[in-house]
């Protein structure tokens, strides 16, 4: 099954960093003041609320990512572009490859923080 290892996926994500995140700074919080005061539970609550708004149609994934994501991909509406296995942190990769195009993941936790992922290709 070596062909599956070279398969690329495309995805967008929304990241909320917290006190336990590997890097406690982001484009919207360069000093990390908000991030260092955000508990993991609080980050999970935020991302759950974003997911509900997106799934219900109240908000667009890209808009939420652009405004709230702690990843620099926020500039592109959360778009990470194409990647293959081995390029992302394992939990992120596994969640993305398990999604169908257009599907949005449940909460995924990595060393970076908590994410929701939308597979786009």
Q: Is 71 a catalytic residue?
A: yes
Read off the pLDDT of each residue in 28-33 and give the average, rounded to a whole number. Answer: 97
Supply the pLDDT for residue 68.
Answer: 98
> Would the pLDDT of 85 be above 60?
yes
**CB–CB of 92/115 below 8 Å?**
yes
Which residue in 79, 119, 80, 78 sits closest to 100, CA to CA?
119
Residue 79 has pLDDT above 90, yes or no: yes
Whether 3 is in a domain gets the answer no
In a domain, 2, yes or no: no
Please indicate, yes or no, if residue 4 is contained in any of the structural domains: no
89 is catalytic: yes
CATH of the domain at 83: 3.10.50.40
Rounded to 5°, the CA angle 73-4-94 comes to 45
Within a domain: 1: no
What's the number of domains the chain is made of?
1
CA-CA distance, 22 to 38, in Å (whole number)? 13
Biggest CA-to-CA distance, the chain: 46
For residue 51, what are the domain limits? 9-119
Of 13, 18, 59, 69, the catalytic one is 13
Residue 39 domain flag: yes
Among the listed residues 67, 57, 62, 51, the one whose alpha carbon sits nearest the alpha carbon of residue 116: 51
Q: What is the pLDDT of residue 82?
A: 97
Examine residue 92 and state whether it is found in any structural domain, yes or no: yes
72 in any annotated domain: yes
Residue 34: how many other CB atoms lie within 10 Å: 15
Mean pLDDT, range 20-32, rounded to an integer: 97
DSSP 3-state assignment of 46? helix
Number of neighbours of residue 28 by Cβ within 10 angstroms:
14
From 12, 26, 59, 71, active-site residue: 71
Active-site residue flag, 21: no
Residue 112 appears among annotated catalytic residues? yes
Summarised one tens digit per residue, pLDDT across range 35-53 is: 999 999 999 999 999 999 9
Q: Take residue 119 and report the two structure tokens written for it.
A: 């597979």
Query: Would residue 18 show up in a list of annotated catalytic residues for this protein?
Result: no
């Amino acid at each position: 099954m070596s062909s599956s290892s070279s398969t690329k996926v495309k995805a967008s994500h929304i990241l909320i960093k917290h006190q336990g995140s590997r890097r406690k700074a982001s484009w919207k919080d360069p000093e990390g003041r908000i991030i260092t005061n955000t508990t993991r539970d609080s980050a999970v609550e935020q991302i759950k609320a974003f997911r509900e708004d997106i799934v219900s149609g109240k908000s667009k994934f890209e808009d939420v990512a652009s405004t709230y994501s702690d990843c620099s991909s926020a500039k592109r509406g959360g778009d990470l572009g194409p990647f293959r296995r081995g390029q992302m942190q394992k939990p992120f990769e596994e969640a993305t490859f398990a999604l169908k195009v257009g599907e949005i993941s449940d909460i995924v936790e990595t060393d970076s923080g908590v994410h929701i992922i939308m597979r786009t290709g």
